[in-house]
Amino acid sequence: MRKVFYRSILLRYIISYAAVMAVLFIGVGIYVNNSYASAIHANIVEENTNRLSALRIQHEEKLSALINIANQISLSPYITPFKLKDNALKAYYLKEHLISYNADNFFDQLYVVFHEDDYLYSSSTSISMDIYTEKLIYYEGISSEFLCSLLRKRDDEVYILPSMSVRSVLTSDTNKNMVTIIIPLRLDGRFSVGNAVFLVHDNAYQRMFTDEIYQIRNMYIFSGEDIISAKRPINISDEVILSEISGMEGSIIRNIALQDGSKYILFAQRGSLLDLCYVSLIPQETVQMRTARSRLAFSLFLLLLSVPCGLLTVYFANRHVRPIKEIQKSIGDEITSEDGFSAIKKGIETLKGQNKDLHTRLDESKDVCRADFVKKFVKCRFSSRELAVNIANSLGMNIDRSFYCITLISALQAESKGLELLKALFADKGDVNAYGMEIFDQEQYLFVLFTDKEEDLETWVNNAKFALSALDNEAVIAVSNTHVDFSEATNAYLEASTAYDNRFVMGNEHVLWFSDVSSAAKDIEPFTENYLDGFRKALYAGDANALHDRIDELFQILKKKKFSLFAFRIIYNEIISMLLNKYLSYDGVSEQSIKYYDIFELSRCRRVSDLTEILRQLCNDILLKEEQNMPDENSVIGQVIDYIRENYADPGLSMGTIASIHGMSAANLSLKYKEQTGMYPSEYLMLLRMEKAKELLLGTNMSIQDIGTSVGYYDASSFIRRFKQHMGITPAKYRILVKNIN
């Protein structure tokens, strides 16, 4: 068996997968079973706690109702303490008054007793106290004398006589379990003048104990050490319950175990009325049985799940073995060899020996990879600093330093291998790490310098100047500002390029510092987000006229403000980034499109028109791609765009009108328009109106109100508010600003 195991790769895979699956199933089973047990226990505890709370609230509501009845009797202006022998008419009025309380379904009988009278009154009769206690009602275990003393008690406390067997001649001769509640009657709410006696049938309590969903549960209502009423399907001594709640305050939940080995969970809550205690008891078997059912169901689920998992194990094991067998064939070993993995290992060792020459050639090509890394670094092709550092480390380059700058060195005249010579010249500089590449079409060498101290960069540049002077007396070094963020590498290159472009007007210096170039960066004014947002909306709407109008506006503003070439490159760098993100979102875009955002391509531009031509070409390509990628089923969106262009000046134009014309709902139109164009129809409508408004502001002397009306607004205030929302300034300020520029 062992020999078969080692020779069969398939069997080894299957057994390995099965072992992992078994461990996973066992772990999941243990975790889920424990989770089930905890969740079920918590659920049962919550159910019984809520059930006990419901009992407490319901009983206290009933008691409160009885106390309210007693208070109403006490406060009634028609009822005052009297003696039947002195005033029989008052007994009649009292009887009539008590009739109104008989509608309460909680108690069976209601009696009123006055301390100074020997009679007991109900809604039907007046009875001598002695006759009532001796002849008409019998309490099991209570003498008539004690009952009489209870009915005549003069303290101010509510007294509850626990449920016991009572036989009343007034109702029937059958014995009934009754709870007797004696509530003092207070004259003017202060002086005790008698008692209201309520006889409550124990069935009323049993109804409160009954659950809609059956569950084995004992329930008790305690008054001190007396059980007012209880439901006892579980045979357990009342003394055990009483000992567990003795001295209890608030609420408790505890496990109890009896000497016979039975275990229970006890719930107890102290009531807020009459210091009653409410208790519930359930056997722990309830939790165990419910947990066992859940565990059994989950075990059956795992058992059923193991069948498809076993089939998948065999399937994937067979798939994994197939390429191993193919590898065996490719390296010349037979499939029937003793161990396929051993054969593959031998073949790999053979291949490693054969590929030593290849590894040597790869090491020699590391310089090419480093030059490519420098090019990508300058173009900001790395999504994060960590990625750039990790790739550089794999090439043996240490760029994880605090500062960096970019230098451009003019090509050496007499050397065909100037880059190798410079690398050798700048090597072994411990404080500064320099990595370079050659820019052939510009006859420059580009070096990126990394260091932990800014002053080390200046020292390195000065040393490089002396070293270069020995090779070529006319060679110059252009140096950018010092930077920290790797995402600023493109700007650093532009700074070095600007310094290099100014080499003929900076004297005979061999080191050209960007910081010495006058007003190279001071004249850059950031364009507002509103302008760029309008540019983006025109682009995503596919509106060629609006897009080229925005380009013309940008060109005129930049040209009139006489920005430096560096300023133009920075501004166009931002705009081309936005355009390129749109262009690259289409399928089938070639890698040649990257040339639009190639920073070296921008550096070769010597005039503003060169940069603008790149911008226009990219916009035209995007609009062409937009047209090619428009699905046939969305041709209706093109009709909507044409309709908005033709009717944008109509003040009554709305999305509801446009949608109904094209057989769509307004919501559906907005969603489809947004999905295709990147903006909502209302945004495109405002874009068209703003473009026309700017044209009228600059080309005519029309008033603001007339311009607003001509582009589709009912009043000037609406037009001004929308214009400011779109451009960031009011129409009047825009007219003044642009005319001052011109």
Q: What is the DSSP string of 28-75?
A: HHHHHHHHHHHHHHHHHHHHHHHHHHHHHHHHHHHHHHHHHHHHHHHH
pLDDT for 525: 46
List Cα–Cα distances, 90 to 86, 127, 130, 515, in angstroms: 9, 14, 21, 113
DSSP strands (E only) in 403-536 = 403-410, 432-439, 444-451, 477-479, 511-513
Q: Please answer whether residues 486 and 383 qualify as being in contact, where contact means their C-beta atoms are separated by less than 8 angstroms.
A: no
Domain spanning 634-742 has what CATH number? 1.10.10.60
Of the candidates 465, 467, 423, 419, the residue with the CA atom closest to the CA atom of residue 443: 419
Q: What is the CA radius of gyration of the chain?
A: 48
pLDDT for 277: 93
Tokens 């020779």 correspond to: 7
Helices (H) and strands (E) in the chain, counts: 27, 17
366-378 helix and 356-364 helix, angle to the nearest 10 degrees:
40
| Token pair belonging to 312 | 């998948």
pLDDT for 520: 40
User: Letter for the amino acid at 295?
Assistant: R
SS3 content of the chain, % helix, strand, coil (to 5): 60, 15, 25
The C-alpha atoms of residue 123 and residue 69 are separated, in whole angstroms, by 14
pLDDT for 335: 46
Hey, what CATH topology would domain 365-516 get?
Answer: Alpha-Beta Plaits (3.30.70)
How many C-beta neighbours within 10 Å does residue 253 have?
A: 14
| Token pair belonging to 393 | 């480390």
pLDDT for 526: 46
Q: Please answer whether residues 446 and 378 qualify as being in contact, where contact means their C-beta atoms are separated by less than 8 angstroms.
A: yes
The C-alpha atoms of residue 281 and residue 244 are separated, in whole angstroms, by 11
pLDDT for 135: 86
pLDDT for 222: 92
Q: Which residues of the chain, if any, have pLDDT below 50?
A: 1, 3-6, 335-337, 416, 507, 518-528, 632-633
How many C-beta neighbours within 10 Å does residue 138 have?
A: 17
How many C-beta neighbours within 10 Å does residue 179 have?
A: 23
Q: Please answer whether residues 179 and 228 qualify as being in contact, where contact means their C-beta atoms are separated by less than 8 angstroms.
A: yes
Of the candidates 406, 386, 605, the residue with the CA atom closest to the CA atom of residue 495: 406
User: Letter for the amino acid at 353?
Assistant: G
Of the candidates 438, 432, 416, 434, the residue with the CA atom closest to the CA atom of residue 424: 434
Helix, strand, or coil here: 46? helix
